[in-house]
Copies of this chain bind each other. A is one copy, B any other.
């Protein structure tokens, strides 16, 4: 089955569990709203690509890992959009969760999605129970403190910000989780896979900065120009569009060079190149070509 379908099916199963009978109806509705329809599902696709390159001997486990990463990503979007952070009105072409369901349900939706990510890993641990400890630890490292997405967001509350710690935690952590958890779910040693995820996370950050500076709201599904509004650093503003596109290309080549030896290395290289191009919206892909 094709990756996109495996991911949607795994996410649907996970969310169905959380919206089971007995769930408070608004929360159940908000959980599905926050996860579907998704964006490009870049992180879970990367996770499945790495698992496949490592042999993917437990497809249920790799699908659960991919779904867990995406659930955590959705949780972070819901919380980042809250009034006390970005106060964002739109996400993926529709009102954000706190606009549609109110702030209390938005806080709880994020909380419940974090929990669901870990539960999803545990429910798939049947065939290879010993892999679960590693997967939970890797997901936790990408999610919490000192270096996960919660820590990344918390750097915005500091007076003196470490820009590299900030970007590595806020964006890089989940990309690194995608590669290391893809490997771990297939029974491979995860750490050699971290550099690939980190490079792709940095590339994604540059692409996101380009979208913010160079695209219209209609194309990216959320307000453009937010970094300037919120006073956040932006690679495209610093380097110009051409400089940022060049940096994106260099990071993609570095990522491909960082792929460890594995059975499916040739196919994975090709996939990484395709996926990295999808980081950019269509209007910028033409410029980068």
The interface of chain A, by Cβ under 8 A from chain B, is: 18-28, 31, 75, 79, 82, 84-85, 101-105, 107-108, 110-112, 114-116, 118-119, 121-123, 125-126, 129-130, 132-134, 136-137, 139-141, 143-148, 150-151, 153-158, 165
User: In the assembled complex, which residues on chain B have CB atoms less than 8 Å from the CB atom of A137?
Assistant: 119, 122-123
Q: How far is the CB of A88 from chain B (nearest CB, A)?
A: 14
Q: Which residue of B18, B104, B122, B143 contacts A156 across the interface (Cβ within 8 Å)?
A: B104
**CA–CA, A101 and B154, complex, Å:** 11
- Show 9 A/B contacts (Cβ-Cβ < 8 Å), sorted by A: A22-B151, A23-B151, A84-B102, A84-B107, A110-B111, A112-B151, A112-B154, A115-B140, A132-B132
Q: Which residue of B79, B146, B153 contacts A22 across the interface (Cβ within 8 Å)?
A: B146
Q: How far is the CB of A63 from chain B (nearest CB, A)?
A: 16
List the number of copies, as a whole number: 2
Q: Are A107 and B104 in contact (CB under 8 A)?
A: no
Report if A122-B140 is in contact (Cβ < 8 Å); known contacts: A23-B146, A103-B84.
yes
Q: How far is the CB of A100 from chain B (nearest CB, A)?
A: 13
Q: Are A157 and B24 in contact (CB under 8 A)?
A: yes
Q: Are B143 and A133 in contact (CB under 8 A)?
A: no
Q: How far is the CB of A232 from chain B (nearest CB, A)?
A: 14
Q: Are B118 and A140 in contact (CB under 8 A)?
A: yes
Q: Are B147 and A121 in contact (CB under 8 A)?
A: no
Chain B residue at smallest Cβ distance from A113: B144
Q: Are B122 and A133 in contact (CB under 8 A)?
A: yes
**CA–CA, A21 and B108, complex, Å:** 29
Q: Are B31 and A145 in contact (CB under 8 A)?
A: yes
**CA–CA, A189 and B192, complex, Å:** 38
Q: Which residue of B18, B24, B144 contacts A158 across the interface (Cβ within 8 Å)?
A: B24
Beyond A27-B145, A125-B133: 10 further Cβ-contacts under 8 Å? Answer: A19-B146, A20-B146, A22-B146, A23-B146, A24-B157, A27-B150, A28-B145, A85-B104, A122-B140, A129-B133
Q: Are B157 and A26 in contact (CB under 8 A)?
A: yes
Q: Are B132 and A136 in contact (CB under 8 A)?
A: yes
Chain B residue at smallest Cβ distance from A20: B146
**CA–CA, A114 and B144, complex, Å:** 8
Q: Are A136 and B151 in contact (CB under 8 A)?
A: no
**CA–CA, A64 and B123, complex, Å:** 20
User: In the assembled complex, which residues on chain B have CB atoms less than 8 Å from the CB atom of A75?
Assistant: 111
Q: Which residue of B24, B104, B130 contacts A151 across the interface (Cβ within 8 Å)?
A: B24
**CA–CA, A230 and B159, complex, Å:** 36
Chain B residue at smallest Cβ distance from A130: B129
